[in-house]
C-alpha cells in the first residue's frame, strides 16, 4: 500500500458528508474554493437522506436531500471520497494542514457500475441491511439504498464468501476483488469537522425491552418504515407483520437522564416523534397514536403550530415518564407510567412502541488531530471556542465545526451552522 | 418545428404514484405530437435518473424535455442543470407539477388526480413545443454590501464580509450599536456579559477600514435590484462633537431639564434629553435626543461639545446585496395581562434583566427589597387566543438563567416558576437541572388554564392549578412578578415595505425555504439574519448571520451576475404610454421614456422579475412575457381543455 501513495491539494477538507458537511462543501465550492469531502459511509447524505418526511414543513427528506447531494456530487469544485476515513490531520502552519486519508476498497469500479443490480440478484449471501436499520436483509454485493449517492454497488467483504457469482454476472466487469485500500496525502488550507451524531443505544435501558420484545423499535427504525423508500411499503409490527393500531412513543429515551450518562435534551426527538405521529395518522387512519412525554419541546419556527396541528389530528399526548415496559403473549406491550395529570401510576396496552432515542456525540474526530489536539466539551461534543461570537470556531485556528458534531440540532439549525462554518473557513482562506 | 421531446413522470417514491397512476399518465402522453420517449421514474431527482436523462437527451438529440414531478420550487434548478449537462439549452425544459397540484391536492380521488396529471403534462408538452433557447442576462454586480441593523447579527456579518474583502456599510437606527445584547448583563450559556460581547464586536468593526458604520441612520429609500441597489440613508446627527470633556458633560446632563423614560432600561428608570449609555454602549460619545429636546440651551451653556448646528444628512450608497439584521422587540403585555400595569411590581423579563444588572448588593425595586420572585412563562408566546402562536424559544432558558443569576447575586431570593412546560432544549437543559437542584420551585399549567394574577391593596397573588401535583391549587404572594415575555417583530418595521420583504405567519421576515434557502428572501439579493427572521438566541443569530454573509458574498464576489431571461418586453410600436403597466408593476421595473417623438414604457431588465402583473393591464396588448407569450399560454390552455 505504502508505495502507492497519492497526493492532492485542496482549499478545504470537509470531514463527514451529512447535510451539514454537504452544505458546507457546497457553499465553499460555489464561491470558488476546492473541497475534498471525506465520508466514512458508502453514500453521502448522513442521517437525513434516510429520513421519511421532515418537520416542520413535511417535505419528503429524499426530495430535499437528493438534489443537494446530486449538486454536491457533480460540482467540479468538490471531490468526494466515500467509504473513506481521515486517519490523521496535522497543522503545519496557518492555512496549511496535512491529512492522511484512507480510501477503503469498494471492490467495484465506481465509474463503470451502472447500478443494474444484477450482482445483487446473483449474490447468495443475505445479511441485515444497516440502511434499513436491520428491518430487512440485503446481499453482500449490494447497492446501499435506492437514492444512495453514488448509486454504485459495493461488496461487503466481511460477509462475502468470495464465491464469485457477482463477478460472473456483472455486464461491465467492474467488480474487482483485487482492489486495495488507497492512501492519500492531502494538503488543505482549512478543515471543517462535520462528523454528526450517534444515536442512543436503547439496549442501555433494559427495562424498555428493546432487542428483547420484537415490537419495541427505535424512532430511526420507524423513520425507515415511513420513508418513501421503505422496506415493507406499509407500517408493520416486526414481531408478526401485523399492521399496528395502537402505537406509543416514549420520549426522552436516553436523554435528560443522568442515569444513562446523558443529562441534556436531544432537541429533535419531540419534534420528530410528533412528525412520525402525523405521518402514522396519515398512513394508518384507524390507528391510535399516543406520545408519552416530560415536556414537549416544539421551540423552532413553525414548531409550536406543528404540535398544535398534531393535537388537532387526534394524536394523544400524555405527560408522564415511562417506568417499565413488559410484553404480553400476543406481542402487545404494557407500559407502566406515572400519569402526571391524574397524579397516579397507570398501565396501558399498545401493540407497538417506538423509543424516541436521543442524540449522542460522535467522538471520531478526537483521534484524528495529531500534535495540536481538537478539544471537546464536557459532554464530548466538538468544543466551540467562542460559542456566542463565532460558533463554528474550534480551539485549532483554521478548523471549524458544522452541524450536530457540536451538539444536538435539527436540520434547519444544522444547515445554518454549516453556513457559518463555511463562511468562517472562507474568511480564513481569504485573509491568509 | 418538429421537435423531438422527452417526457419523465416521477413516482416521487409514492408521494405521487400512491394517488396518480403514473403508468397511465405515461401511456396517455406517449403518443402526443413530438414525444419521442416517455418514461416513469422512482425519483426523477435522483442521481441515476439525472444521468439517464442526460444520456437520453444526448443520444437521441432531444430538443426539449418535460419533467412531471413535485413543485418547480424544489427542482427547477435541478432539471435545468440536467439540460445544461446534456448541452440542451435549459429553457427547453418545462416542468409540470403533478404532486402539489395533483397527488397531494386530490388524495381522495385517484382517478381524478390521474386525469388532471395527464392534462398538466399535455399542457407542458404544448409549451415545450414552442419553447425557445434563451441566454441569461449578465449584469455587473457591485462588490459592496449594506447591512441594516448593528446588533450582534449585523456586526458579526459585517466583520465576516469585510474580511472576505467586501466593503460594508453598516446602518444602525439607534445611536449605539449592539442591539438588544448591549442591554443584557450576564448571559446564557457562557456567562459572558452582553457588554463584553458588544465591546469586542464593536472594536472589531471599527478596526476594519472597509466597514462604514452609520449610527442614527435609517434607510429612507431603496431602488434598484440585485447587483445594484441604491440606498438613500438619512443620518440624524448626535448634536455633539466627537471629543468631549466628561466632567462638563456630567454637569450638562444634570442641567438638562427634560426627563424621559429610559428605553435602554425598558423604562424602569429615566434619563435626560442629553444622555449616554456608557460604559456598555458604543460609540462612546453622548447624544442629544432631538425628539424630546426643547432647545432650552442649558447644556450648551456648560458643555462646549454641544453643537446644535449639526445638520441631518442624506447619504447614498450603492451595493450589490443587502443583509437585513433588524432584530426583534420584546413583547409588551396588554394592560391587565397577568397584572401588567396593575402593580408597580409586575415587570417583564427584559426589565428584570436590567433590574438585576443595575442593583448591586440587594435587589431593591421601587423601594421594596425583593425576595420572593414569581415568573409567569410564555407571556405573548404560544397564545391560544392571540396572534402569536409560536414559541419564542429563548425565554425558558433566559428566565431560568436570570433567576439563577438573581439567586447567586442577591441574598435570600426564592424563585417560583409558573411554566407551560420548560423548553431548555439541548445543552441548555443543564441550567434547568441546576435550577431544580438549587431548590427553585416549578409549577405548571396548560394553556386552557393559565395562572391567575390578582392585585389587591398592592399585594400580588399568583394562583395556579398545578398539574405537577395533580391539579392542586397553589398560590404564591411574590414581592415581584416577572412576565417572561417572548419575541415579536420590530414595532417599526417600515424597512420591510421599502424592500418589499415578505413576512411569515408569525410576522417575522420569511425565508424562501427553511432547509434549501434559509437566509434568502424572494427579493433577490436581500438576505435575512438574526432574530428578524424569527426568535433566536445569540449563537443561533450569529449562525444565521454568517450564513447570510456567505450568501450575500456569493452575489457580489464575482463582479457580475447571471439573471433569469424570463422577463417582460414592450412592443415599441404598439405602446401608447398610458402608464397602467407602471402602476401594476410591484417591483418598480417600468419607467416612461421618450423615444423620438413618442413616449413609451421601458422595462429595466435587471429589476423585472417576470411576474406578469403588467400583462393584463395593457389596453393595447403591447407587453409580452418571454417564455409565457400568448401563443404559449393559449397552446397550454388548448391542451388542458382538449382532454
Ligand atoms: C429518527 C430521526 C428523525 C429526524 N427527523 C428530523 C426531521 O424531521 N426534521 C429535522 O429537521 N431533523 C430531523 N432529524 C435530525 C437530523 O437527522 C439531523 O439534524 C441531521 O441529520 C444532522 O446532520 P449532520 O450532518 O450534522 O449529521 P449526520 O447526519 O450524522 O452526518 C454526519 C456524517 O458524517 C459521517 N462521518 C462520521 N464520522 C466520520 C468520520 N470519522 N470520517 C468521515 N465521515 C464521518 C457520517 O457517516 C455521516 O454521513 C431526525 C433525526 C432522527 C434520529
Ligand atoms: C430578555 C432577554 C434576554 C436574553 N438573553 C440572552 C442570553 O443570555 N443569551 C443569548 O444567547 N441570547 C439572549 N437573548 C437573545 C438575544 O437578545 C438575541 O439573540 C439577539 O439580540 C439577536 O440579535 P440581532 O442582531 O438579530 O437583533 P437585535 O439585538 O434586536 O439587534 C438589531 C439591531 O438592528 C437595529 N435596527 C432595527 N431596525 C432598524 C432599521 N430599520 N434600520 C437600522 N437599524 C435597525 C436595532 O436598533 C438593533 O441595534 C435574550 C433576549 C431577551 C429578550
Ligand atoms: S427533544 Fe423532547 S424527547 Fe428529546 S430529549 Fe428533549 S424533551 Fe426529551
Ligand atoms: S421558550 Fe419557554 S417561555 Fe418561551 S415561549 Fe417557549 S415555552 Fe414559553
pTM confidence score = 0.92
- Cβ atoms of B182 and B198 within 8 Å: the answer is yes
Q: Is residue B494 in some structural domain?
A: no
Q: Is residue B635 in some structural domain?
A: no
Same domain, B354 and B423: yes
* Mean pLDDT value of segment B616-630: 94
Q: Which residues line ligand 1 (CB under 6 A)?
A: A 15-21, 38-41, 46-48, 51, 54-55, 85-86, 194-197, 199, 219-220, 223, 268, 272, 275, 362, 364, 403-404, 409-412, 414
**CA A166 from centroid of its chain's CA atoms:** 29
- Asked if the Cβ–Cβ distance from B546 to A419 is below 8 Å, we say yes
Question: CA A85 to CA B132: how far, in whole Å?
Answer: 47
- Asked if the Cβ–Cβ distance from B518 to A64 is below 8 Å, we say no
H helices within B345-464, ranges in order?
349-358, 395-409, 429-437
Strand partners, A102: A85, A183
- Asked if the Cβ–Cβ distance from B515 to A295 is below 8 Å, we say no
* Mean pLDDT value of segment A132-152: 90
Q: Is the pLDDT of residue B267 over 60?
A: yes
The three three-digit cell numbers of residue B335, written as one number: 394592560
- Residue A357 near ligand 3, beta carbon < 6 Å: no
For residue B600, what are the domain limits?
Answer: 566-626
Q: Nearest C-alpha of chain A: how many angstroms from B595?
A: 41
For residue B579, name the pLDDT band (cuts at 50, 70, 90): very high
CA distances from B58 to A180, B42, B65 (A): 35, 22, 12
Same domain, B335 and B482: yes
- Asked if the Cβ–Cβ distance from A416 to B547 is below 8 Å, we say yes
Q: Which atom of ligand 4 is nearest to the CA of B393?
A: 1
CA distances from B1 to A12, B39, B63, B96, B133 (A): 49, 23, 10, 22, 14
Closest chain B residue to the Cα of A255, Cα to Cα: B426
* 3 state DSSP class of A102: strand
- Asked if the Cβ–Cβ distance from B504 to A301 is below 8 Å, we say yes
- B173 CA distance to ligand 3 centroid (A)? 40
Same domain, B361 and B389: yes
Question: CA A188 to CA B94: how far, in whole Å?
Answer: 41
In eight-state DSSP terms, residue A386 is: B
Considering CB atoms only, which of B165, B515, B549 is closest to A64?
Answer: B515
* Domain stop point among B112, B134, B156: B134
* Domain stop point among B134, B167, B188: B134
How many CB atoms neighbour CB B628 within 10 A?
16
Same domain, B483 and B347: yes
Contacts of A304 in chain B (CB under 8 A): 382, 389-391
User: Residue B643: its pLDDT value, please?
Assistant: 63
User: Residue B634: its pLDDT value, please?
Assistant: 95
Q: Is residue B573 in some structural domain?
A: yes
Q: Is residue B639 in some structural domain?
A: no
- Residue A231 near ligand 3, beta carbon < 6 Å: no
User: Residue B341: its pLDDT value, please?
Assistant: 96
- Asked if the Cβ–Cβ distance from A301 to B516 is below 8 Å, we say no
Residue keyed to cell 456483472: A170
Chosen from A419, A422, A424, A431 to mutate, greatest number of chain B CBs within 10 A: A419
Contacts of B85 in chain A (CB under 8 A): 74
Same domain, B338 and B323: no
Q: Nearest C-alpha of chain B: how many angstroms from A200?
A: 15
Question: CA A361 to CA B445: how far, in whole Å?
Answer: 34
In eight-state DSSP terms, residue A374 is: P
User: Residue B1: its pLDDT value, please?
Assistant: 55
- Cβ atoms of B121 and B9 within 8 Å: the answer is yes
For residue A1, name the pLDDT band (cuts at 50, 70, 90): very low
* 3 state DSSP class of A385: coil
User: Residue A112: its pLDDT value, please?
Assistant: 85
Question: CA B252 to CA B229: how far, in whole Å?
Answer: 42
Least confident stretch, A331-335, B147-151, B422-426, B510-514: B510-514
User: Residue B308: its pLDDT value, please?
Assistant: 94
Q: What is the CATH number of the domain that holds B600?
A: 3.30.70.20
Q: What is the pLDDT of residues B90-120, one digit of tens each?
A: 999 999 999 999 998 998 899 999 999 999 9
Residues 6+ apart with CB under 8 A from B196: none
Q: Alpha-carbon torsion A303, A304, A305, A311, what sign?
A: positive
Q: By alpha-carbon position, which residue is closest to atom 45 of ligand 1?
A: A16
Considering CB atoms only, which of A70, A340, A413 is closest to B47?
Answer: A70
CA distances from B410 to B143, B351, B396, B398 (A): 52, 17, 21, 18
Closest chain B residue to the Cα of A227, Cα to Cα: B13
Question: CA B122 to CA B636: how far, in whole Å?
Answer: 8
For residue B257, name the pLDDT band (cuts at 50, 70, 90): very high
- Residue B483 near ligand 4, beta carbon < 6 Å: no
Same domain, B349 and B468: yes
User: Residue A89: its pLDDT value, please?
Assistant: 98
Same domain, B214 and B363: no
A233 or B579: which carries more pLDDT confidence? Answer: B579
User: Residue B243: its pLDDT value, please?
Assistant: 75
Contacts of B382 in chain A (CB under 8 A): 304
φ/ψ region of A403 (left if φ > 0, alpha if ψ in -120 to 50, else beta) reads left
Q: Nearest C-alpha of chain B: how many angstroms from A301?
A: 7
The reply to whether A415 touches chain B by the CB within 8 Å rule is yes
- Residue A251 near ligand 3, beta carbon < 6 Å: yes
The three three-digit cell numbers of residue A3, written as one number: 508505495
Same domain, B41 and B163: no
- Residue B171 near ligand 2, beta carbon < 6 Å: yes
Query: What is the pairing mode between strands A53-54 and A288-293?
Result: unpaired
The reply to whether A430 touches chain B by the CB within 8 Å rule is yes
Same domain, B476 and B355: yes
- Cβ atoms of A38 and A13 within 8 Å: the answer is yes
Q: Is residue B497 in some structural domain?
A: no
Share above pLDDT 90 across residues of chain A, in percent, rounded to a whole number: 86
The reply to whether A45 touches chain B by the CB within 8 Å rule is no
Taken in order of first residue, the domains within chain A and their CATH numbers are 2-103+181-196+362-430 (3.50.50.60), 105-179 (3.30.70.20), 200-359 (3.50.50.60)
Which of B188, B231, B78 minimizes the C-alpha distance to B426? B188
Same domain, B322 and B207: yes
Q: By alpha-carbon position, which residue is closest to atom 1 of ligand 4?
A: B393
The reply to whether A348 touches chain B by the CB within 8 Å rule is no
* Domain stop point among B134, B163, B197: B134
- A252 CA distance to ligand 3 centroid (A)? 5
Residues 6+ apart with CB under 8 A from A263: A256, A257, B429, B430, B433
- A145 CA distance to ligand 1 centroid (A)? 16
The three three-digit cell numbers of residue A156, written as one number: 461487503
Q: What is the CATH number of the domain that holds B90?
A: 3.40.50
ipTM entry: 0.96
Which of B535, B164, B553 minimizes the C-alpha distance to B322? B553
Same domain, B153 and B28: no
Q: By alpha-carbon position, which residue is closest to atom 4 of ligand 3?
A: A269
For residue A313, name the pLDDT band (cuts at 50, 70, 90): very high
User: Residue B249: its pLDDT value, please?
Assistant: 86
Least confident stretch, A2-6, A303-307, A357-361, B17-21: A2-6
Over chain B, what is the mean pLDDT? 94
> Residue B95: enclosing H or E segment and its boundaries?
strand B93-97
Q: What is the pLDDT of residues B297-312, one digit of tens each?
A: 999 999 988 999 999 9
Least confident stretch, A10-14, A331-335, B348-352, B456-460: B456-460
Closest chain B residue to the Cα of A266, Cα to Cα: B426
Q: Is residue B633 in some structural domain?
A: no
Q: Which atom of ligand 3 is nearest to the CA of A297?
A: 2
Number of domains in chain B: 5
User: Residue B12: its pLDDT value, please?
Assistant: 87
Q: What beta strand segments (E) does B210-295 contain? A: 211-214, 217-225, 228-235, 259-261, 270-272, 274-275, 287-288
Q: Is residue B443 in some structural domain?
A: yes
- Asked if the Cβ–Cβ distance from A73 to B424 is below 8 Å, we say no
Q: Is the pLDDT of residue B74 over 80?
A: no
Which of B619, B596, B614 minimizes the C-alpha distance to B604? B614
Q: Is the pLDDT of residue B50 over 50?
A: yes
- Cβ atoms of B20 and B70 within 8 Å: the answer is no
* Mean pLDDT value of segment B156-180: 97
Same domain, B334 and B323: no
The reply to whether A67 touches chain B by the CB within 8 Å rule is yes
Q: Which atom of ligand 4 is nearest to the CA of B421?
A: 7
Amino acid at each position: 500500500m505504502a508505495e502507492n501513495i497519492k497526493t492532492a491539494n485542496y482549499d478545504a477538507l470537509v470531514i463527514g458528508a451529512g447535510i451539514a458537511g454537504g452544505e458546507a462543501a457546497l457553499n465553499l465550492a460555489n464561491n470558488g474554493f476546492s473541497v475534498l469531502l471525506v465520508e466514512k459511509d458508502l453514500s453521502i447524505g448522513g442521517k437525513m437522506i434516510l429520513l421519511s418526511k421532515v418537520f416542520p414543513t413535511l417535505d419528503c427528506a429524499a426530495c430535499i436531500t437528493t438534489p443537494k447531494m446530486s449538486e454536491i456530487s457533480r460540482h467540479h469544485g468538490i471531490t468526494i471520497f466515500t467509504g473513506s476515513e481521515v486517519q490523521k490531520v496535522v497543522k503545519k502552519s496557518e492555512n496549511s494542514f496535512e491529512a492522511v486519508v484512507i480510501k477503503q476498497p469498494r471492490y467495484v469500479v465506481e465509474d463503470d457500475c451502472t447500478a443494474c443490480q444484477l450482482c445483487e440478484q446473483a449474490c447468495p449471501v443475505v445479511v441485515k441491511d444497516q440502511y434499513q436499520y436491520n428491518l430487512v436483509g440485503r446481499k453482500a454485493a449490494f447497492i446501499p439504498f435506492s437514492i444512495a449517492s453514488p448509486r454504485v454497488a459495493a461488496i461487503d467483504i466481511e460477509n462475502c464468501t468470495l464465491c464469485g457469482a457477482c463477478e460472473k454476472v456483472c455486464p461491465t466487469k467492474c467488480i474487482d476483488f483485487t482492489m486495495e485500500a488507497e492512501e492519500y496525502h492531502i494538503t488543505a488550507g482549512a478543515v471543517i469537522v462535520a462528523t454528526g451524531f450517534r444515536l442512543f443505544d436503547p439496549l442501555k435501558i433494559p427495562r424498555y425491552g428493546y432487542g428483547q420484545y420484537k415490537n419495541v423499535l427505535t424512532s430511526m427504525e420507524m423513520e425507515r418504515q415511513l420513508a418513501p423508500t421503505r422496506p415493507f411499503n406499509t407500517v408493520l409490527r416486526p414481531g408478526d407483520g401485523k399492521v399496528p393500531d395502537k402505537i406509543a412513543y416514549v420520549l426522552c429515551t436516553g436523554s435528560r437522564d443522568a442515569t444513562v450518562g446523558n443529562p441534556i435534551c436531544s432537541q429533535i426527538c419531540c419534534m420528530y416523534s410528533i412528525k412520525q405521529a402525523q405521518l402514522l395518522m396519515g398512513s394508518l387512519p384507524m390507528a391510535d397514536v399516543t406520545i408519552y412525554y416530560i415536556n414537549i419541546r416544539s421551540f423552532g419556527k413553525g414548531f409550536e403550530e406543528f404540535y398544535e396541528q398534531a393535537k388537532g389530528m387526534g394524536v394523544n399526548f400524555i405527560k408522564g415518564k415511562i417506568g417499565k415496559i413488559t410484553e404480553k403473549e400476543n406481542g402487545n406491550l404494557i407500559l407502566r407510567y406515572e400519569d402526571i395529570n391524574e397524579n397516579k401510576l397507570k398501565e396501558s396496552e399498545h401493540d407497538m412502541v417506538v423509543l424516541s432515542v436521543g442524540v449522542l456525540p460522535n467522538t471520531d474526530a478526537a483521534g484524528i488531530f495529531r500534535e495540536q489536539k481538537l478539544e471537546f466539551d464536557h459532554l464530548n461534543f466538538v468544543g466551540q471556542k467562542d460559542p456566542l461570537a463565532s460558533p463554528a470556531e474550534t480551539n485549532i485556528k483554521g478548523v471549524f465545526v458544522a452541524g450536530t458534531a457540536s451538539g444536538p440540532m435539527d436540520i434547519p439549525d444544522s444547515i445554518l451552522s454549516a453556513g457559518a462554518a463555511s463562511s468562517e473557513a472562507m474568511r480564513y482562506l481569504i485573509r491568509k | 418545428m418538429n421537435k423531438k421531446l422527452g417526457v419523465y413522470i416521477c413516482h416521487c417514491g409514492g408521494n405521487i404514484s400512491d394517488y396518480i397512476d403514473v403508468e397511465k399518465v405515461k401511456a396517455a402522453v406517449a403518443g402526443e405530437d413530438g414525444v419521442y420517449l416517455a418514461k416513469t421514474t422512482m425519483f426523477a431527482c435522483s442521481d441515476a435518473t439525472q444521468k439517464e436523462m442526460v444520456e437520453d437527451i444526448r443520444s437521441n438529440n432531444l430538443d426539449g424535455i418535460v419533467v412531471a414531478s413535485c413543485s418547480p420550487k424544489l427542482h427547477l434548478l435541478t432539471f435545468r442543470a440536467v439540460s445544461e449537462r446534456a448541452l440542451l439549452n435549459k429553457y427547453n425544459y418545462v416542468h409540470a407539477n403533478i404532486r402539489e397540484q395533483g397527488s397531494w391536492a386530490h388524495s381522495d380521488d385517484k382517478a381524478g388526480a390521474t386525469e388532471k396529471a395527464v392534462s398538466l403534462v399535455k399542457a407542458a408538452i404544448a409549451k415545450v413545443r414552442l419553447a425557445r433557447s434563451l441566454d441569461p442576462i449578465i449584469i455587473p454586480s457591485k462588490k459592496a454590501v449594506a447591512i441594516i441593523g448593528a446588533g450582534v447579527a449585523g456586526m458579526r456579518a459585517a466583520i465576516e464580509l469585510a474580511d472576505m474583502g467586501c466593503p460594508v456599510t453598516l446602518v444602525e437606527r439607534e445611536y449605539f450599536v449592539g442591539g438588544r445584547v448591549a442591554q443584557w448583563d450576564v448571559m446564557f450559556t457562557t456567562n459572558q456579559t452582553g457588554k463584553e460581547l458588544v465591546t469586542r464586536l464593536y472594536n472589531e468593526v471599527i478596526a476594519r477600514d472597509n466597514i462604514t458604520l452609520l449610527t442614527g441612520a435609517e434607510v429612507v429609500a431603496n431602488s434598484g435590484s440585485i447587483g445594484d441597489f441604491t440606498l438613500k440613508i438619512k443620518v440624524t446627527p448626535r448634536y455633539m462633537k466627537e471629543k468631549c470633556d466628561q466632567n462638563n458633560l456630567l454637569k450638562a446632563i444634570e442641567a438638562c431639564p427634560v426627563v424621559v423614560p429610559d428605553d435602554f432600561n425598558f423604562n424602569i428608570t429615566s434619563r435626560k434629553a442629553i444622555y449616554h449609555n456608557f460604559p456598555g454602549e458604543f460609540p462612546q460619545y453622548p447624544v442629544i435626543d432631538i425628539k424630546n429636546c426643547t432647545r432650552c440651551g442649558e447644556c450648551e451653556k456648560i458643555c462646549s461639545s454641544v453643537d446644535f448646528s449639526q445638520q441631518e444628512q442624506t447619504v447614498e450608497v450603492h451595493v450589490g446585496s443587502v443583509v437585513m439584521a433588524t432584530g426583534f422587540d420584546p413583547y409588551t403585555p396588554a394592560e391587565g395581562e397577568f397584572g401588567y400595569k396593575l402593580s408597580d411590581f409586575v415587570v417583564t423579563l427584559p426589565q428584570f434583566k436590567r433590574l438585576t444588572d443595575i442593583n448591586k448588593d440587594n435587589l431593591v425595586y421601587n423601594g421594596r427589597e425583593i425576595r420572593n420572585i414569581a415568573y409567569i412563562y410564555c407571556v405573548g408566546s404560544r397564545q391560544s387566543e392571540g396572534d402569536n402562536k409560536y414559541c419564542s424559544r429563548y425565554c425558558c432558558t433566559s428566565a431560568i438563567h436570570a433567576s439563577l443569576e438573581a439567586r447567586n447575586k442577591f441574598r435570600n431570593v426564592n424563585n417560583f416558576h409558573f411554566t407551560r412546560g420548560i423548553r431548555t432544549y439541548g445543552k441548555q437543559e443543564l441550567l434547568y437541572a441546576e435550577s431544580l437542584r438549587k431548590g427553585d420551585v416549578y409549577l405548571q399549567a396548560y394553556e386552557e388554564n393559565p395562572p391567575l394574577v390578582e392585585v389587591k391593596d398592592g399585594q400580588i397573588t399568583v394562583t395556579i392549578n398545578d398539574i405537577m401535583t395533580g391539579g392542586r391549587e397553589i398560590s404564591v404572594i411574590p414581592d415581584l412578578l416577572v412576565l417572561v415575555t417572548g419575541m415579536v417583530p420590530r414595532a417599526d418595521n417600515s424597512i420591510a415595505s421599502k424592500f418589499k420583504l415578505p413576512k411569515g405567519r408569525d410576522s417575522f421576515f420569511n425565508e424562501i425555504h427553511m432547509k434549501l434557502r434559509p437566509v434568502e428572501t424572494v427579493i433577490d439579493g436581500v438576505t435575512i439574519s438574526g432574530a428578524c427572521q424569527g426568535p433566536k438566541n445569540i449563537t443561533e443569530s450569529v449562525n444565521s448571520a454568517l450564513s447570510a454573509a456567505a450568501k450575500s458574498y456569493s452575489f457580489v464576489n464575482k463582479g457580475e451576475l447571471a439573471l433569469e431571461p424570463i422577463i417582460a418586453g414592450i412592443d415599441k410600436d404598439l405602446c401608447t404610454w398610458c402608464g397602467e403597466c407602471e402602476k401594476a408593476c410591484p417591483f418598480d421595473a417600468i419607467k416612461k421614456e421618450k423615444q423620438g417623438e413618442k413616449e413609451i414604457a421601458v422595462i429595466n431588465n435587471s429589476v423585472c422579475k417576470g411576474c406578469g402583473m403588467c400583462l393584463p393591464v395593457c389596453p393595447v396588448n403591447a407587453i409580452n412575457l418571454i417564455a409565457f407569450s400568448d401563443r404559449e399560454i393559449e397552446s397550454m390552455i388548448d391542451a388542458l381543455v382538449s382532454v
